[in-house]
Structure 1
Amino acid sequence: MKFYASLFMVIIFLITGCTYNETVTIKGKINDVNKKENTFVVYVGDNLTEKQRQRMEYDEDDKFIEAFSVETTNDTVIKGEVNSFNELRMGQKVSIELKGHYDKDLVTIDTLFEQQENLPTYQADGVTIVPYTKKELVDEMTVDKGYYGLYIYNAKEDKSYSNLNDQLQLKRMVISRSNGEGGVKNMKELLDLYNDSTTFIITDDKGIVYKTDKEKELIEFINKLNSKKATK
């Protein structure tokens, strides 16, 4: 009897031991990096409809965002597009191996941005930075139908582009002083950005509609878009 009892205890120990050491893989995007604490926040997704998301139809107290905080240690393996914690950036796609069980917890938008200490926290075994495809990148640059998005890369330090915002009905205007550096490591190659000059890209609801490195040509194209709208 003692033999069976001991065998039973060994089996229970093995089962619980295996469960404890299991990992789960979660995919998302880095929303914030805390280099002082060696942690970062992962945005997994939300349960809003496309219409609610576009019109921002939600209450600040609603819990609709799936996100969590990730703790790393010296033993955490970081690989993919980068291989160190210091190279982690907001916007990077990640695949994370978490220790133990993962619970899908929904949080408010305020928790995601302002109260990150209240996010559920997990310890990572491994972090893989996944490259973007061109389609994924362009899809994120699109805007609502009837509007345009203007993206400016390698923008001049002493240059203001507010006049362009006045000339075109923009839903989104993004100005970057770098040439594709940041969360999307291969942005320069995917968007074929110009090397030594400013790149201007205009998007609509379907994708990229225009790209140039000459502001004069950009303004001429904007005027054409405005003329088409006026004739409708």
Structure 2
Amino acid sequence: MIDLYYWPTPNGWKISIALEEMGLDYRVVPVNIGKGEQFEPDFLKISPNNRMPAIIDQDPADGGEPISVFETGAILIYLAEKCGKFLPSDLRSRKEVIEWVMWQMGGLGPMLGQNGHFKFYAPEKIPYAQERYSTEVLRLFDVLNSRLEGRDYICGEYSIADMACWPWIITYKRQEIDLGEFPNIRRWYDNLKTRPALRRGYEVGRELSKPTGEWSEESRKHLTAQRRPAKG
């Protein structure tokens, strides 16, 4: 059994989609990021970066004590190795999938997140920041669109690279991106959303939160960067 510490966001969807695709048993432990539950001491023990999602594998392959994993790229690799699916075993193909998972982790997700923040949530509009991040997002979409030329999936067969990227692409309307400019992404995106397991993963926790496009003052406090209190 996998305990999934989760809230319905693109990063959360990556893991719920993977768990559904892999057919692994799991239970959802909600982490309400708008109420600051990601800063609770018990959660920090498994996710020291105070970000969800995180998992605890109650039945690890080595037969030992439960294992916790934080950071979505690490979780995806861990789960793929656990189930023996969606991450190739041969050196070159495995390397390629991991490259694109890291591309999503270091580029696509953070840049879309920053673009959305300065476009919709920043208390004041900063044209420089909006232009910087919107331009970088479009550059990343160009990269992915080129990668998908002549490919059904990012790395040959369907893999954790697709699971990592799709939940961020789904935000394109909210991000005011014209997906018609990226026909290969459009084809890939539409193909993947017909997968029953992916749809189930995307629906996980729908009852927990419905995005409104607005933050309360409490949510703004919890969803902006915070330093931990100094000890002593």
Pick 1 or 2: higher relative contact order, CA cutoff 8 A, min separation 6: 2
Indicate the structure with greater helix content: 2
Q: Larger radius of gyration, structure 1 or 2?
A: 1
Q: TM-score, structure 1 length as denominator?
A: 0.24
